[in-house]
Amino acid sequence: MVDIYRVFNSSIAWFSEQKDLNCSLNIRSWLIDPKSLTTKLESCAQTFEVRVKDQELTKPSIDLSGYFANEKKLLIRNVFLYVDHKAVIFAQTEIPISTLNAQSQSLSNIGPLSLGSILFKHAAMSRGDFEFAEFKQPSTAHQLAQTIDQPSDYSLWARRSMFYLNGYPLLVSELFLPASGIYQ
């Protein structure tokens, strides 16, 4: 079983320049879309569902992004987004305890709600620049896809960006799984 905490670990080679996206136009259009991914997925689905894999309050480690190394604790939320009963996105959110405290801990109690449905309705939300990663075979992303019966022999793509709520950060990383349809 793949350790889902290691899928987006600090050793991943993320890049921020869109010109470095060596992928199809379809993949690129999904990666650089600044609008809510939740809304986009809901618009092309009969059913949309968030399944929480796990959620844990933990200390920062090398298994995570490294953005919040100076924080005492982070809330890590791992979810799969399902469209028409197929997992299409694996998402990991890192929320520093300072952000949780500033937001009255409300982000820690959203259960199966989509984080995007909350963030994009927040009056004081802003989003930082995207970073992108290409996961070439074999990778932790491919191992994760294999565990949910979505093997692939092509690169898988991910994006991440920092969100700010009233100036307090949280990081959202999203892996587009083989069933997402963006690779066709």
| Contact assessment for residue 55 and residue 91, using Cβ atoms and an 8 Å cutoff | no
What predicted TM-score, i.e. pTM, was given to this entire model?
0.93
Q: Where are the domains of the chain?
A: 17-89+96-123+140-180
pLDDT, residue 160, reads 96
Alpha carbon 36 to chain centroid, angstroms: 12
| Distance (Å) of CA 158 to CA 3, 104, 124, 133, 175 | 17, 30, 26, 5, 4
97 Cβ contact list (under 8 Å, min separation 6): 57, 71, 72, 73, 74, 75
Task: Give mean pLDDT, residues 24-47.
Answer: 93
What confidence category does residue 184 fall into, taking pLDDT thresholds of 50, 70 and 90?
confident
What is 17-89+96-123+140-180's CATH topology?
A: Chorismate lyase (3.40.1410)
Could you report the per-residue pLDDT of 49-83, keeping only the tens digit for each?
999 999 999 888 877 888 888 888 999 999 999 99
Give the pLDDT of residue 166: 87
